[in-house]
Amino acid sequence: MRIDIVTIFPEYFGVLDVSLLGRAREDGILKVEVHDLRDFTHDRHRTVDDKPYGGGAGMVMKPEPWGEALDAILPATPALATPTAPTEVPGVAQGDSGEVDARSGATGGPIVIFPSPAGEVFTQAMARELSSAEHLVFGCGRYEGIDHRVFEFAATRASVRLVSLGDYVLNGGEVAVMAMIEAIGRLIPGVIGNPESLVEESHEDGLLEYPSYTKPAEWRGYEVPSVLTNGNHGAIAAWRRDAQFERTRRVRPDLLPPE
């Protein structure tokens, strides 16, 4: 998989050299390129923001550097000619979000993800879906966000998604992008040594995972549930399933179907 990241803080992504994703990069499973948005500016101060039209607090990211960054990463091809009318970004234009595909009927092309608290919420299902993409581009917003026309322009070159990490506001998209890349990257075949370990995880089957234990069987007066130590695989599986339901009901009842 190829990943391009556009940011004004490239140093945030140094952690991609570490651990499993670092090894995946060494092995060529993951190719990551980080682009400094300021390299696409042309003034002495390398300006990427300006005051919002209509007034209000904060600054908005200017469209021009974003346009040049996207031109460099996703060059226009004759087959993807710029539309004659401004591209409607379904949902996004109305203030919410949704996948946009400017190539009618296109499948498997690049996907541009803009992290945004106003986007669709990132889930394990989305991570799994995106893990089969060949090319992901992440655009990290800062300040009050990116000029909306950038999303419409990006949709002339690729599928575009605005994606939220959750119902809270971060200072910038970098942390959200790191979380998404880690969740997506670990699902790419070859990144995790034992793919079995991905199967029983929280959110894979709609439930939270059961509690896990390792040796010693007794630690500081706390004991491992005896069912896990008696070698009865049927009983262990049943205990784990019950524990999944109990934990999900207690912590995240919203994940369970209505009774």
What is the per-residue DSSP string for 61-121? E-HHHHHHHHHHHS---GGGPPPSSPPP-TTGGGTS---EESSTT--S--EEEEEEEEEEE
Binding mask 130-149 for ligand SAM (x = CB under 6 A): ----------xxx-xx----
98 annotated to a ligand binding site:
no
**Residue 166 touching ligand SAM (CB under 6 A):** yes
Q: Which two tokens stand for residue 195?
A: 């793919």
**Residue 165 touching ligand SAM (CB under 6 A):** yes
Could you tell me the smallest distance in angstroms from the CB atom of residue 100 to ligand SAM?
17
74 annotated to a ligand binding site:
no
Q: How many CB atoms lie within 10 A of CB 185?
A: 24
Range in contact with ligand SAM (rule: CB under 6 A) among 74-82, 85-93, 115-123, 208-216: 115-123
166 annotated to a ligand binding site:
yes
**Residue 118 touching ligand SAM (CB under 6 A):** yes
Q: Residues with Cβ < 8 Å from 130, sequence gap 6 or more? A: 111, 113, 136, 180, 184
Could you tell me the smallest distance in angstroms from the CB atom of residue 108 to ligand SAM?
25
Compare residues 142 and 161 and give the one whose CB is closer to ligand SAM: 142
169 annotated to a ligand binding site:
yes
Report the sign of the C-alpha dihedral through residues 11, 13, 18, 24, in that order. negative
Selection from 32, 39, 40 nearest residue 13 by Cα: 32
Question: Interface with ligand SAM by CB under 6 A: which residues?
Answer: 115-118, 140-142, 144-145, 164-166, 168-173, 176
